[in-house]
Amino acid sequence: MRIIVIGAGPTGLFLAATLALREHRVTVVDRDPGPTPDGVWRRRGVMQFHHAHLFRPQCAETLQTHLPDAYQAWLEAGAEPIQLTRSDGTRTMFAVRSRRQTFETALRATVLGMPAVTFHRGHVDAVTTVGGRAAGVKVASSPIGADLVIDASGRAGRVADGLRPAPSVGGNCGIAYVDRQYQLWPDAEPGPLLNPAAWQGEFDGYQSILFLHERGIFSVLLVRPTSGRDLVGLRHNEASTRPAALSRSSPRGRIRSAPDPSPMCFPAELSTTTTVPRPAQTAASPCQG
């Protein structure tokens, strides 16, 4: 079967690979060009891309079972599976410490390297139909035909809106956060944690969460209620670079800015249906502290 997958995010890539393994010919269409050769990946269409991610064990187990090469590539890129020992001495995976960029770069390289998977860069403007059935897509006015079209265009995807009912659940959950990445100096310990992946603290009017990723890289989240306006200014670059400046003068000198200059200064509003407009970035690169 000729299959088009709209979207080369984790869902689209995983589907493309597993369909290709079942001898289908798959074309993945995505407007995002992927990472540059030096590893920088802006990923403007996926607002949460540079926000903190933690990977549940199912993610690792699914890759190990169906795409072991992608799992291996992820480990080689630095992913850190966290194993816990149960009271009976058996081991279980708790989570995987990794930035999403590290995960998706490994998955993408593996899947787009498969002979039965073709990558087509472009924005899908519409799904074409014949007799009420999907028959392909239009990319920049050019049609591409297919026997099956799969919409994996994510929470911001709009291309199939007219083909399905609107979501029945969703709305603002009342919290928003900004986050930013740092990296421990090579010999520094991360400090006290509540579990092998995170630390969390409650403060007057906000919450702070620290997520460990791979190779000593970690994210710090500042979470606020959307009803309060006091910390809204944190979304601006000038305000959110302050913690980095403080970290350099930290007496214990444990942290530095993360290695690649990811744009970290936009807010995540935790809502299942709304997309938060990203404020204009200032010229300074936030991760250069």
Ligand X SMILES: Cc1cc2nc3c(=O)[nH]c(=O)nc-3n(C[C@H](O)[C@H](O)[C@H](O)COP(=O)(O)OP(=O)(O)OC[C@H]3O[C@@H](n4cnc5c(N)ncnc54)[C@H](O)[C@@H]3O)c2cc1C
Q: Which residues bind ligand X (CB under 6 A)?
A: 6-12, 29-32, 45-46, 48, 51, 53-55, 123-124, 152-157, 159, 268
Instruction: Closer to ligand X by CB, 137 or 289: give it.
Output: 137
The DSSP result for 17-76, as a single string, is HHHHHTT-EEEEEES-----TTS----TT-TTTTS---B-HHHHHHHHHH-HHHHHHHHH
Question: End-to-end distance of the chain based on CA atoms, in angstroms?
Answer: 50
* Tally of CB atoms within 10 A around 220: 22
> Which CB atom, from 55 or from 71, has the smaller least distance to ligand X?
55
Q: Report the residue count for the chain.
A: 289
DSSP state of 55: B
Nearer to ligand X among residue 31 and residue 236 (C-beta): 31
32 vs 214 by CB, closer to ligand X: 32
Nearest distance from C-beta of residue 88 to ligand X, angstroms:
28
Complex with ligand X: residue 130 or 140, whichever CB lies closer: 140
82 vs 289, beta carbon nearer ligand X: 82
Say how far apart CA 27 and CA 149 lie, in whole Å. Answer: 10
Which is nearest to 280 in space by CA: 243, 235, 228, 219? 235
Q: Which is nearer to ligand X, 9 or 289 (CB)?
A: 9
Cα(94)–Cα(189) distance, rounded to whole angstroms? 20
The position carrying tokens 């200014």 is 233
Residue located via tokens 């995983």: 14
**Distance between CA atoms of 129 and 85, rounded to whole angstroms?**
53
Nearest to 47 by CA among 193, 254, 235, 240: 235
Q: Are strands 217-225 and 142-145 parallel, antiparallel or unpaired?
A: unpaired
